[in-house]
Each structure stands twice: as structure tokens, then as C-alpha cells.
Amino acid sequence: MSFSADLPRTPGYKPGLALFSAVAALWVFVLVTLGAFTTTIGAGMAFADWPLSNGSLNPTGWLSNLAMFAEHSHRLSAGLMTILTLGLAVWVWRTESRAWVRRLAVFAIALVVAQAVVGGLRVMLDPVQLGAIGTSVGRLFAMLHACLAQGFACTLVALAISCSRPWITRPLPAGAGVRRAGTVCCALLFVQLAVAAVMRHSFAGLAIPTFPWSTPSGALLPEVWTFRVAIQFAHRVMAVAVAAGVAVYAVAIWRDRALPVTMRSGASVLVSLVALQILLGITIIRTMRDPYITTAHVLVGALTLVTAFWLNWLAHRDEIEATAAA
């Protein structure tokens, strides 16, 4: 009997699919954490080849050398992420009656493949230097790799939410104001994370080594402007914009009495994550970029985006389902 006959496309909640999609969504944060630590300690080029590491799946010395361990662990976790995404997409395609969910699963495959290719180009093109902008082609791909990771995480979370029991069984009438505030909030967070990716891969994390002021004398603006200083300053300005956007979004959710307690609690979590993220950012400056604090900062940034996206995806639940059914 064929797989499609065993698992026909049917509507309704599927516990196994919901659990598997949740596991895949959680694993992406393992991948983000390992990638962040690899970048933070400068181990992105611990191996000059790809997709193997020194021509092997088990390169000599990778368990005893921190840089090699960080990069090879990141590659192994990315391989498992690819397997999980492919498995999820096949499961969704064979069993899910909603065409838009099947298309979302295919989009997840496209993203994970693109992420792998971009990661490979980051390694292979690192020797190609761009003197005009003082970086390498590989580092430009590293910036793109970091941005794609955020989009991929949101896609997996969207799949997990869409396969969950509450999404399938209960309408969620969110007001237009909540939906607009959520979209703006997610856009601000994604721009901030893109700025952070450029900053990290441009070695600009300590381009302004003081906080909250931009100079030791207490000036608001830097005295000397370079690209690294500008991107670091932009990251700080965007942090203020994100904090304001999150506050507006949280208030909109709290004031909408039609929303479930889950979303109001989620808004409180979102505000807490932004506060923690700001504290970690300050600590990075105070500790001169401690690698573990910096890695936590990247992870909390991803969690903040995904939390905002989760809330926004829920807020659009009825609209998404209605559009798909039309």
C-alpha cells in the first residue's frame, strides 16, 4: 500500500504532525545558537571546504578544538535541520488538505536549500576580497545567511502554529489595529536583525565601546564616523524604534478583549524579551563582547522576532483561513 493511501489528505487536527512540526520549529533555535557562537568566536572559516569539513564528516580534532567544534557542530545541526524540514514537508504534502499549508511547507524547503547554498558560498568565496568596501564576498553571503535564518525560523513557526489544535479548531477574531501593529512590529524587528547581521560580520560590535553615550565624554553622536561606527549607531537607534514598536503592539493586544489569554500573555513575554535583549546588549559593551553573552543576545533576538511573528500570525488566523477558503 502506498504512503499516500496510508495517509490520505484530510482536514482536522493531526497530533503526530503537530508534534513533529513543533520539534522542527524548536530545532531551528539550536541551529541559530550554534551559528551565533561560531560567528562570535570567529570560527566561520574553521574549515576552508564545504559541505564536508576537511574532507570528512568526522574531521580530525574537531572535538578538542573549540573553533572546529563550533563550526562542525553548526554544519551537523544544519544537516539535521534539512532532514527535519524535508520530513515535515513530505508529511504535510501527503496528509494536509489545506493547499496553502502545503505551499508553506514547500517554501520551507526552498528556504532551507537556499540557506545551505548561501552558507556554502560564504565558505567558498571568503578568499575573494572586495577592496572597495573592505570585506570579502564570503562575508556578504554570511550577512545574507544570517537574515535568511530569521525568515526560515518564522516559516517553521508558521507551520507549527497552523498545524496546532487551537489554530484548527478555534476562530481568533483580532482587530485591524492589532494586525497592523503586529505587522509593523515584525518589520522593525526584521530590519533590526538585518542591521545586526551586517554589524556582526563587519566586526563592528565594539565600534562604539561606550554606553549609553557614543563617546567617553558623554556625547550623543559619535565624533568620528566610519562604516562600522555608523552601523553600530544604527543598531542602537533601531533598538529604540523596536522597543517603541513592541510597546505599542503589546498595548494593542492587551486592550483587545476579544483575544485569548494566550495572546495577552504572549505580549507580556514579548515585552520581557525586549527588555532582556537591551540588557544583554548593554552587557556586551560592558564585558567587551563576551562570547557567551553575545551568543545569548543573538538567540534572544531570534526569540523576540519569532514571538512577535507568532502573535501576528495568530492575529491573522481568521483572515488567512478565509482567504484560503475563498
Asked if residue 212 lies in contact with residue 285, where contact means CB atoms within 8 angstroms, the answer is no
How much is the pTM?
A: 0.94
- Residue 57 is placed in which grid cell? 564528516
CB atoms within 10 A of CB 90: 14
Q: Which amino acid is residue 261, in one-letter code?
A: V
Given its phi and psi angles, is residue 134 left (phi above 0), alpha (psi -120 to 50 degrees) or beta? left
Asked if residue 196 lies in contact with residue 134, where contact means CB atoms within 8 angstroms, the answer is no
Helix 317-325 / helix 99-124 crossing angle, nearest 10 deg:
110
Q: What is the pLDDT along the chain (326 residues), one digit of tens a residue?
A: 344 445 678 888 999 999 999 999 999 999 999 999 999 999 999 999 999 999 999 999 999 999 999 999 999 999 999 999 999 999 999 999 999 999 999 999 999 999 999 999 999 999 999 987 889 999 999 999 999 999 999 999 999 999 999 999 999 989 999 999 999 999 999 999 999 999 999 999 999 999 999 999 999 999 999 999 999 999 999 999 999 999 999 999 999 999 999 999 999 999 999 999 999 999 999 999 999 999 999 999 999 999 999 999 999 999 999 988 76
Boundaries of every domain in the chain: 7-169, 171-326
Distances in Å between the alpha carbon of 178 and those of 189, 225, 259, 317? 16, 39, 10, 12
Alpha carbon distance 266, 252 (integer Å): 12
CA 218 to chain centre: 34
CB atoms within 10 A of CB 106: 12
